[in-house]
Chains A and B, each alone.
Chain A
Amino acid sequence: MATTHAEHHDHHDHHEMSFWEKYIFPLDHKVIGMQYLFTGILMGVLGAFFSYVFRMQNAFPGIEVPLFGLVTSAQYNSLITNHGTIMIFWFAMPILVAAFGNYLIPLMIGADDMVFPKINRLSYQIFLLSVVVLIGSFFVHNGGFGGAWTAYPPLSAKAEYNLTPWGSILWLVAVVLEFVAFLLGGINFITTLMNSRAKGMKMMDIPIVCWMIVLASILFMASAGPLIAGAAMLLFDQTIGTGFFDPARGGDPILWQHLFWFFGHPEVYVVFLPAMGIVAEVITTFSRKKLFAYKVVLFTTFATGILSFFVWAHHQFIAGIDPRLANIFTVTTLLISIPIAEMLFVYIATLWGGSIELTSAMLFALGFLATFLVGGVTGIFLGASGADIYFHDTYFVLAHFHYTFVPIAVIAVFAGLYYWFPKMFGRFMDETLGKIHFWGTMVGFNGIFMPLFFTGAAGDHRRIFDFSNFPELAVSSLQHLRMVATISVIITILFQFVFFWNFIYSMFRGRKCTENNPWKANTLEWVAACPPPHGNFLVMPEVYRGPYEYSVPGRELDYWPQNEKV
């Protein structure tokens, strides 16, 4: 700790950095965060475009889709597969974990950078390579992989089944590269939070969002390993003809499902926790209230993290697993809804009696709580093995997890972007456009997935190219619901242009942020300038209290920054 006494930045020794040093090969955590953010947003646009194309085919079979053309069944499979893969691995994770983690953790714990800036840069470069490999896989012979984002063998293992001999290999390589990038990034996040907190910041003084991103990194690290091993096995099955997942040769295709979902279910919480953290920061600031039960949030997060490793087989209830095992996994799955529900209650209790200010960021944060609730409640249907036998692989499942993932990866991300935009770019986003964007997104999003609960309950299976081939599903009542969903997709996408306009315009022309702390928030990132310079703080801050001391009785101001001595 001897070094902390001499922690003053001498900014004169930084020579002027060239464009390449600053933006292409940066070491600054903020610039690396931005690289992740913009790459993630671009991938999100690609994933959204894919969803538009296959929804058009779904609602209007055989239509010449504007901006794409006629969709073949092979293209349809590839589009849905890569939509899922992109949205989880190249959109949700890079933005929620990597972009916000890189940008926020050093700022919020009062450090000048990550502990390993070069590893941080390497992490992004590997991530970018994975993007290149994935996009490359769309253009090889027979196109991109079409065996669903879960890549179950034998479909994923044998080219004679999936018909994409190169696409499936490149898809797998891209996923593994992406994992390596996030392992490197995760080690950086965890070590930084453990070792580099400002003087005086105790464990219980860490802002919830930092806790959440780091716990998500630990969850990712603990769950991804077996799938990396599984990916090596699958790669050998694809390329040199081993039989790890081939029952004819003594292997077991269910083994892949275990490895995949042992990773895949904790992965839900890997993206969920950072979203929950972002929302915690936003609702405390804009309700001027202390977070109700900080420790409860933290301990329920630990409980969620531990339980998340014991629920994976609820994805496999009809895969031929032992029914006695299904009983156990039903119980654990229903159990995990308790800590999640507790977190939602704690957040609602935080709002109670606060002076709520409905900024765009706050609207999105509240929208997250409302819509995620629907996703959580419908999960109970699927966690119960009896009901799941009927619902399995229907649009009900699809609607359920989009009601969890869209609030997480889209709505909470918007809350975070509107909230930290002044810090990131030194200017405000337009509030009126923000509110138009909010309502358009909320109405559009519910319009997409609410009807799909009904089509799913009526028997619509997922991953069907053309429902007109199924007479009992090709009825007009169901087809109308599919059309409602597709039109809602278009409406939702159109409203995102409001966001993009607002984002890009505000970045250069928005109202200037003249103070360091425009929202009157407590956490340390608001001590730094808007936007913070290289090195973040002129004088390294020290911490005297927790992050949520709002409306403290007897104090004149309704906020109390962590770094203020009195």
Chain B
Amino acid sequence: MGTTTPIATTRSVTGMPTGRLAVWWVIGSEIVIFGGLLMCYLMLRLKFPHWALNSSHTNTFAGGVNTFVLLTSSLSIVLAHYYAERKEELKAFGLIWATIFGGLCFLVIKGIEWTTEIQNGFTITSSLFWSFYYTAAGLHALHVIAGMCLMGWISIDVLQKKNMHRVELIGIYWHFVDLVWIFLFPLLYIAK
């Protein structure tokens, strides 16, 4: 099959590599998706002060630990990029899997937290606050899972020293996923 890379892909009129440019546009489109959801939440939250009664039940400690886990995993993907640029594929491979492990820890903590909430009777249909809580965090968790899958796929290439630039691309995406959480954590957990 004609899978040779087109000339178009190798050009760089803006001076920015095409892959990186595309990832920024992906992030742009993601910002408006999360932005729209959080804007709805914020406007309703400001309208209904009594939502604070619901949010007082969220587990700020678990959220805080998760913030720490996710930020640490961002550090490891940055280091993976550092070694990928130096063509040290084994170190890059290890650090990518450290990032995947970070994502896994995040999901496990989230799973424990959600199980506890549901056992306490706070489900997605309990009230509008909880609907937003599960929808926003769930959408974010889907992005975490997608990022982990992509990293696993990229790590195979990295071992063969192929497509090393993709470590940077997934790194940009992972930082974005991180940043979304930085917005979700205060809005859903800290604001009591």
- The answer, yes or no, to whether B6 is at the interface (CB within 8 Å) is yes
A425 within 8 A of B: no
Q: Return the contact of B7 from the options A3, A17, A249 (Cβ within 8 A).
A: A3
> Which residues of chain A from 156 to 208 have a CB within 8 Å of any chain B CB?
183, 186-188, 190-192, 194-197
CA distance A208 to B39 in the complex (A): 35
| B22 CB contacts on chain A under 8 angstroms | 115-116, 187-188, 191
CB pair A540–B35 under 8 Å, yes or no, is no
Contact A106 B8 (CB under 8 A): yes
Q: Is the CB–CB distance between A195 and B35 below 8 Å?
A: no
A112 engages B6 (CB within 8 Å):
yes
Residues 1-34 of B contacting A (Cβ, < 8 Å): 1-4, 6-14, 16, 18, 21-22, 25-26, 28-34
Q: 1/0 per position for B47-63, CB-CB distance to A under 8 A?
A: 01000000000000000
Of B73-81, B127-135, B146-154, B156-164, the one with at least 4 CB within 8 A of chain A:
B127-135
> Which of A207-257 touch B at CB < 8 Å?
221-230, 232-233, 236, 240-244, 249-252, 255
Interface assignment of B42: CB less than 8 Å from any CB of chain A: no
A192 touches B8 (CB 8 A): yes
Does B186 touch A at the CB level, under 8 Å? no
Determine whether B125 belongs to the interface, using a CB cutoff of 8 Å to chain A. yes
Whether A43 is near chain B, meaning CB under 8 Å from some CB there, is no
- Count of A-B contacts with CB under 8 A? 150
B40 touches A229 (CB 8 A): yes
Any chain B CB within 8 A of the CB of A476?
A: no
The verdict on A7 contacting chain B, using a C-beta distance below 8 Å, is yes
Contact at B7–A232, with CB atoms within 8 Å? no
Interchain CB contact under 8 A, B125 and A111: no
Q: Tell me the smallest distance from the CB of B110 to a CB of chain A, in Å.
A: 18
Contact with B along A64-93 (1 / 0, CB 8 A): 000000000000000000000000000000
A17 contacts which chain B residues (CB < 8 A)?
Answer: 1-2
Interface contact A194-B13, CB-CB below 8 Å: yes
Q: Which of A196, A221, A232 contacts B8 (CB 8 A)?
A: A196
Among A7, A9, A15, A192, the one with the most B-chain Cβ atoms within 10 Å of its Cβ is A192
Q: Contact: A221 with B36, CB < 8 Å?
A: no
Inter-chain contact A224/B32, CB cutoff 8 Å:
yes
Partner of A229, one of B6, B36, B131: B36
CA distance A241 to B29 in the complex (A): 28
Size category of the B interface is 35 or more
Return A323 CB to nearest CB of chain B, in Å. Answer: 19
User: Known contacts being A192-B8, A224-B32, A241-B125, is A115 close to B40, with CB within 8 Å?
Assistant: no
Residues of A within 8 A of B34 (CB): 225, 229
Partner of B4, one of A13, A106, A190, A259: A13
CA distance A487 to B2 in the complex (A): 51
Q: Chain A, interface size: which category?
A: 35 or more
Q: A21-B2, A243-B128, A250-B128 are in contact. Are A194 and B14 (CB under 8 A)?
A: yes
List B contacts of A21 (CB < 8 A). Answer: 1-2
Select from chain B the residue with minimum beta-carbon distance to A27. B2
Q: Is B44 an interface residue (CB 8 A)?
A: yes
A229 adjacent to B37 (CB under 8 Å): yes
Chain A residue at minimum C-beta to C-beta distance from B6: A113
List residues of chain A with CB within 8 A of the CB of B135. Answer: 232-233, 236, 242
Name the distance in Å between A451's Cβ and chain B's nearest Cβ.
Answer: 40
Residues of A close to B12: CB separation below 8 A = 1, 195
Decide if A4 is an interface residue (CB 8 Å cutoff). yes
Q: Are A240 and B11 in contact (CB-based, < 8 A)?
A: no
Q: Are A240 and B26 in contact (CB under 8 A)?
A: no
| Nearest Cβ on chain B to A193's Cβ, whole angstroms | 9
| Binary CB contact string for chain A from 16 to 46 against chain B (1 if under 8 A, 0 otherwise) | 0100010000010000000000000000000
Contacts of A540 in B (CB 8 A): 7
CB-contacts of A450-501 with B (<8 A)? none
Residue among B18, B30, B48, B125 making CB contact with A242, cutoff 8 Å = B125
A-B CB contact pairs (8 Å), 28 listed: A1-B12, A9-B7, A17-B1, A27-B1, A187-B25, A187-B29, A191-B18, A191-B25, A194-B13, A195-B13, A195-B16, A195-B18, A195-B21, A196-B9, A222-B28, A225-B29, A225-B30, A226-B37, A227-B36, A229-B34, A229-B37, A240-B124, A241-B125, A243-B125, A244-B131, A249-B128, A250-B127, A534-B2
Question: CB within 8 Å of A: which residues of B?
Answer: 1-4, 6-14, 16, 18, 21-22, 25-26, 28-37, 39-40, 44, 48, 124-125, 127-128, 131, 135, 139
Beyond A195-B21, A196-B18, A232-B37, 10 additional pairs, beta carbon < 8 A: A1-B12, A3-B11, A115-B8, A186-B29, A192-B8, A195-B16, A221-B25, A226-B36, A236-B131, A250-B48
